[in-house]
Amino acid sequence: FAGTGHVNARAAPAQPRVAVVIGNAAYPTAQLHNTVNDAKAVANALRDVGFTVIEVHDGGRTRMQEALERAAALLRGRNGVGMLYFAGHGVQLDWHNYLLAVDSLSSTAAEVRANSLSLQSVIDAFRIAGTRVSLVVLDACRDNPFIDGSQGKGLAQMDAPPGTLLAF
């Protein structure tokens, strides 16, 4: 069920397909309206094509990190497909991308780094797990409502490692 990190227990193929689907809307000062519904729709579509889905709705950093770690554990050494779908606030700081948790009341760049999930950590988790293919889809609102406007707008360009598709 939604919001608890529940894993769909359908029979997994020999090469598993595991997706982390995060929909964050309940930010204290910059709520979003469609992200949780979008995440639910994506999660259902992925289940329909055989993915094991770990869902997080309105997740704090700890829940988001735990979901990623759980997916990596399910994929480790099995040559599978790992996916992250994120709908929520995404920001770049110093050419690094961060997925904001709903509990990240960040007013400084250092707080954003400490209280958010870095996109690089997602890529690294799938790489270390030994995925055959990694898919990262960011359906992110790309303005940072939490810190001053001195940082760049949008998300930073990244080079995807082999076998990885990044979609912003």
**Residue 164 parent element (H or E):** strand 164-167
Q: What is the pTM of this model?
A: 0.86
Point out which residues pair with 82 in neighbouring strands: 18, 134
* Structure confidence by residue, pLDDT tens digits, 122-167: 999 999 999 999 999 999 886 655 555 545 566 777 778 889 999 9
Quick: pLDDT tens for 19-74.
999 999 999 888 899 999 999 999 999 999 999 999 999 999 999 999 999 999 99
Specify whether the CB–CB gap between 54 and 7 falls below 8 A.
Answer: yes
